[in-house]
Amino acid sequence: MNYDVKVGIDAFSFDIPKIYLPIKDLAIARDIEPAKLEKGLGLRKMSLPDVHQDVIVFAANALKKLLEQERLRPEEICRIYVGTESGIDSSKPIGSFLISLMEDLYGEGSFEHCDVVDLTFACIGGVDALHNSLDYIRVNPDKKAIVIGTDYAKYDLNSTGEYTQGAGAVALLLSANPKIISISNKIGISTQGVFDFFKPKRSLSKKEVTEKDTNPIWFGIEENEIDLFKEQPVFDGQYSNMCYQNRLKGAYFHLKKLLSVETTLYQQWKNIIVHSPYSFQGRRMFSEIYALDSDLKESLPTQEKEYADKIKEIGKTEEYQSFVKEKFAPAEVASSHIGNMYTGSIFMGLLSTLSYHVKNNTEITGEKFGFLAYGSGSKSKAFEGIVEKDWKTQSEKLRLFETLDNTYAIDMDTYHSLYKKELKKSVLTPKNEYILERIENENPVLIGARYYKFKK
């Protein structure tokens, strides 16, 4: 593997829902003080898929935009790897749907020799796809790859995760000698097998459904148990935060060791981009790393409670608040207006950061970014990227903040109807985007097959 080859992100695109629920409306409906969500967690809007949208729609829209924006030919793309935890089939990957849709545009067989696969590890699956594909390009520097993170973060109504919901996709074009950011092959990793957040298959006895003691065939199910899958996760918010904090800490200091850095690592980073289940998660969880990788380490108590209290105290200091405003705030802007994108979250943080610097006319060529990814279950990866000279030209194509400002607010009744899948007609009429056209329910060899088309 040629580690001297500079590889990274050459271009990008995204797709998000066009509708959202104002967080203030949700807070009032759930008897929560709006300031707790808006100022405490950094939440403003909660984006939601419309009736015609799902994770394949978001991914296809982002992919189509990227191919057309960069005027890419199918034969240039050697792989399309998808990170997701919202797959709609236990066997058929999202990538295979995307290939079919793109061949509708570019011709039958045009993507025949393109490798596709989905990678799943909660919210870090997109970063796993990124690192896997970057290694591929290091070996094959004449090739290009696309990585897509696409998800819908859906939680139970009235749960503590409800106000963090979000959806959308980010597509990245990877190449040698990238225009936007080159990414180092040094990766800090921290992994532990835990149940902080997961989406298990659950079972019901057939009697609970049919109310019969016998085992009649029910919709083709021969077994006496009926498997039930919910998109909403089983999770323990407080425990998940602890896992997030511990994994990021482990990956961060592993990266520091790999880089043989003796000074404070995070001070070398212009900005810090993290997985954001809610906008302010990174800044709220980073205070321990901030203390441990600085002179503050010497003042930390050894007793567990006193230690935790001291970390909280440090997180409230003027110095730390100034630090997070400089390092974290640029990546938080988009998250505040979209919500949790799961695998696309950290990528959207990058898009937000670069768009922030475009808006403020900041020159950041040659600056170093730090990335801290996380996936429940649980794993974190820490790595670095260096901003390349064409970052601004490529980032201006996004028009990210303009897109965020032009979404449509819905009310609580519409939100509940969408959530419960009671609406039959889209809130906004689809235009120039992919739609879920139908799901087959009659042909016995195609039951459940999903069909999509581009709506002009």
Strand locations in 247-314 (E): 271-274
CB 176 within 8 A of CB 8: no
Write down the pLDDT at residue 52. 98
CB 255 within 8 A of CB 382: yes
Write down the pLDDT at residue 12. 98
DSSP 29: H
Write down the pLDDT at residue 1. 67
The closest alpha carbon to 275, from 331, 237, 337, belongs to 331
Q: Could you give the CA distance from residue 59 to residue 257 in angstroms, rounded to a whole number?
A: 36
- 320 in the Ramachandran plot: left (φ > 0), alpha (ψ -120 to 50) or beta? alpha
The closest alpha carbon to 247, from 129, 373, 120, 384, belongs to 373
- The structure tokens listed for 92 are 């058929």
Q: Could you give the CA distance from residue 255 to residue 349 in angstroms, rounded to a whole number?
A: 20
Sheet architecture: strand order including 45-48: 45-48, 19-22, 408-409
CB 96 within 8 A of CB 60: no
Residue pLDDT tens, the chain, 456 long: 667 789 999 999 999 999 999 999 999 999 999 999 999 999 999 999 999 999 999 999 999 999 999 999 999 999 999 999 999 999 999 999 999 999 999 999 999 999 999 999 999 999 999 999 999 999 999 999 999 999 999 999 999 999 999 999 999 999 999 999 999 999 999 999 999 999 999 999 999 988 888 898 988 899 999 998 899 999 999 999 999 999 999 999 999 999 999 999 999 999 999 999 999 999 999 999 999 999 999 999 999 999 999 999 999 999 999 999 999 999 999 999 999 999 999 999 999 999 999 999 999 999 999 999 999 999 999 999 999 999 999 999 999 999 999 999 999 999 999 999 999 999 999 999 999 999 999 999 999 999 999 999
Q: Could you give the CA distance from residue 291 to residue 272 in angstroms, rounded to a whole number?
A: 16
- The structure tokens listed for 281 are 């998660």
Write down the pLDDT at residue 2. 67
CB 39 within 8 A of CB 422: no
DSSP 184: -
**Is 204 strand, coil or helix?**
strand
**Is 410 strand, coil or helix?**
coil
Q: Angle of helix 345-359 relative to helix 329-338, nearest 10 degrees?
A: 120
The closest alpha carbon to 166, from 12, 315, 26, 10, belongs to 26
Write down the pLDDT at residue 122. 98
The closest alpha carbon to 241, from 276, 189, 193, belongs to 276
Q: Could you give the CA distance from residue 341 to residue 124 in angstroms, rounded to a whole number?
A: 11
DSSP string, 79-131: EEEEE-S--S-SSS-HHHHHHHHHHHHH-TTTTTT-EEEEE-BTBTHHHHHHH
The closest alpha carbon to 151, from 114, 184, 178, 126, belongs to 126
CB 343 within 8 A of CB 120: no
pTM: 0.97
The closest alpha carbon to 278, from 32, 12, 36, belongs to 36
- Which residue ranges form the domains of the chain, and what is each CATH number? 7-196+236-286+328-455 (3.40.47.10), 198-229 (no CATH)
Q: Could you give the CA distance from residue 356 to residue 159 in angstroms, rounded to a whole number?
A: 32
